[in-house]
Amino acid sequence: MPTYIALMRGINVSGQKIIKMEPLRASFEALGFKNVRTYVQSGNGVFEAKAAAPAGIAVKIADRIERDFGFLVPVTVVTSEEMGRVVRENPFLKEAGIDSAKLHVTFLSDAPGPSGLMKMRALPAGPDRLHCRSRSVYLHCPGGYGNSKLSNSAIERALAVGATTRNWRTVTTLHQMASSGQSAGD
């Protein structure tokens, strides 16, 4: 069975939309997913499922979360192969002296259209930089993501697609988990 990564937006943030990882794993297993693992408390799941379109799996997960926990959560699903490509193709890693702690990836629910890309390029970035490839926006935020004007919401509005952002450490850990079949812990 193929391995997928689910990225849920906005759970366990500021005391809102609280989901403990054990019940979340149970919800995934109720959907028939196998080898379900979670990483940190912020909505990252790695699992195996019958081959299907990631967008369809995302809808199933979102519906199940609403049923089991009583609230809507945007979900983006990527394949293990797509996550590997995201890790390999980060353009900022090719730069000398880059601090990987200042790197993030915004995962998009769909590939953006040309007009959205033009709007995103017009965002006031300050010292921050971005680069879009397929369903991923790579971010370099030297002053920290919390101080960036390239927020998840700004990118979502510009591109008119759902989005959720992860730091580089989380991205590489999820890739490792999906590649190895092992858990990195919660």
Paired sense of beta strands 75-79 and 129-133, if any: unpaired
pTM of the complete model beyond 0.85? yes
3-class DSSP state of 104: strand
Which pLDDT belongs to residue 172? Answer: 97
**Rounded distance between C-alpha atoms, residue 171 and residue 67, angstroms:** 28
Tens-digit pLDDT profile for residues 100-133: 999 999 999 999 999 999 999 999 889 999 999 9
Measured on CA atoms in the order 36, 40, 41, 44, is the torsion positive or negative? negative
For residue 185, what pLDDT band results from cuts at 50, 70 and 90?
low
Contact 37, 45 (CB under 8 A): yes
The span from the CA of 161 to the CA of 121, in Å, is 15
Q: What's residue 181's pLDDT?
A: 65
User: What are the beta bridge partners of residue 136?
Assistant: 107, 133
| Per-residue pLDDT tens digits for 135-181 | 999 999 999 999 999 999 999 999 999 999 999 999 999 999 999 86
CATH class label, 3-79: alpha beta
Q: What is the DSSP string of 138-173?
A: EEE-TT-GGG-S--HHHHHHHHTS-EEEEEHHHHHH
CA 54/CA 6 separation, integer angstroms: 9
Q: What is the CATH number of domain 84-172?
A: 3.30.70
Question: Could you tell me where in the chain the CATH 3.30.70.1280 domains are found?
Answer: 3-79
Interior angle at CA 77, CA 74 and CA 83, nearest 5? 135
Closest residue by Cα to residue 78 from 33, 133, 132, 136: 136
